[in-house]
Chain A
Amino acid sequence: MVQEIMHPLSKYLREAMIPHIWCTGCGNGIILNCFVHAVDELEMDLDKLVVVSGIGCIGRSAGYTNADSFHTTHGRALAFATGVKLANPELNVVVISGDGDLFAIGGNHFIHAARRNMGIKVICANNFNYGMTGGQQGPTTPLEASTTTTPYGNIEHPFNLVHLAAASGATYVARWTTLHVRRLTQSIKRMLQKEGFCFIEVVSPCPEIFGRRNKMRTGLEMMDWFKRASVVENFSDPSKAEITPEKLVVGEFVNIEKVSYEKFLHEKISQINERKVGW
């Protein structure tokens, strides 16, 4: 009998669930790969890691990682993660979700989790549309892009996710594409070691749903677009970080230190217990 070859990272994945069901050329597998690489390089304790995901194609990543994980209802990944983090601040809570889940239905949860500086790490896979439900126009669809609900071109201005996160008060904001695997892994490592609210947007290819309506039929063509258009501009102004067919600004935008919500909360609880409340 031929001995089966085992991937070195397979211990971080649930064996029964692999191979995953994402399409050929999809970037979600690369995001999962980079995340697992970062966890492996940091030698993190899997008992102290919680992966939460919302609804969407990338939502399945919670089921694929061999850590404690939860697949929440639509848009509520951050709400659930907030509860986990406050109940047990020792845990490393990572939210891996899509742009539709985090910014359309879960938009309010996102801006308020960022404002409170909750110690949650967010990885957002941005594929420019609602991929799982058939490619409807979403909050990140670029202007003039064609989707099933905008067949003559999109006329809505998209969200600039990194600007939104930076303006809401996130302590770490970065954007990479799935082609920047090394920098993305470095970025995830840096994020996992930080205290407050961290956000990484990963521009991900979606050839089957978004790409084929926008003249990029394969994952390779979408990756070629990332290669051609992406410009690394570290610590530049996130409001100018555009995503257009000609230019895709990537890089680390914000990296600051701020006291997190759960630290304040537990300090306050101990003050109340010692009856030192008030001015």
Chain B
Amino acid sequence: MPERIRHAPLDMGKATFPKAKIQLIKDQCKGCGFCIRFCPQKVLEESQEINARGVHPPKIVDESKCLACGFCTAVCPDFAIFIIEKPSKEDVKNG
């Protein structure tokens, strides 16, 4: 990593991170594992349950780590996962 970005940004304390709710449509999942492997925050994990298609759908490990990048929504070939961005505190304050 280059030296200049090793330090935290100066407005780190003030910045608020977007939060999202992850929605899984488990019975549409075919178990390709793209969302699990390519999630930058490693929010998802393969579960032990078996869905209607006979595969293991992902499960959410820690939803608070999700930063609403939406890569899982974009990379899912089966339209089985999507995120709903939660309004931030500032948005709630401003109505």
Which A residues form the contact surface with B (CB < 8 A)? Answer: 5, 7-10, 13, 18-20, 22-30, 32-34, 37, 178-179, 181-182, 185, 218-220, 223
Asked if B75 and A24 sit within 8 Å, CB to CB, the answer is no
Known contacts A7-B25, A7-B82, A33-B79; is-contact A24 B30 (Cβ 8 Å): yes
Asked if A33 and B82 sit within 8 Å, CB to CB, the answer is no
Q: Which residue of B lies closest to A24 (CB)?
A: B30
Asked if A9 and B79 sit within 8 Å, CB to CB, the answer is yes
* Cβ of A222 to closest chain B Cβ, rounded Å: 10
Residues of B within 8 A of A13 (CB): 79
Known contacts A5-B25, A8-B82, A24-B55; is-contact A182 B31 (Cβ 8 Å): no
Q: A24-B32, A185-B74 known; 14 other A-B pairs, CB under 8 Å? A: A5-B23, A8-B82, A10-B79, A19-B78, A23-B30, A24-B55, A26-B77, A27-B77, A29-B77, A30-B34, A30-B77, A37-B74, A182-B71, A220-B34
Number of interface residues of B (CB under 8 A): 20
* Cβ of B6 to closest chain A Cβ, rounded Å: 25
Residues of A within 8 A of B30 (CB): 19, 23-24
Residues of A within 8 A of B74 (CB): 30, 33-34, 37, 181-182, 185
* Cβ of A20 to closest chain B Cβ, rounded Å: 7
Asked if B28 and A219 sit within 8 Å, CB to CB, the answer is no
* Cβ of B74 to closest chain A Cβ, rounded Å: 4
Interface residues of B in 67-89 (CB under 8 A from A): 71, 74-80, 82
Q: Tell whether B65 is near chain A: CB-to-CB under 8 Å.
A: no
Residues of B within 8 A of A28 (CB): 77
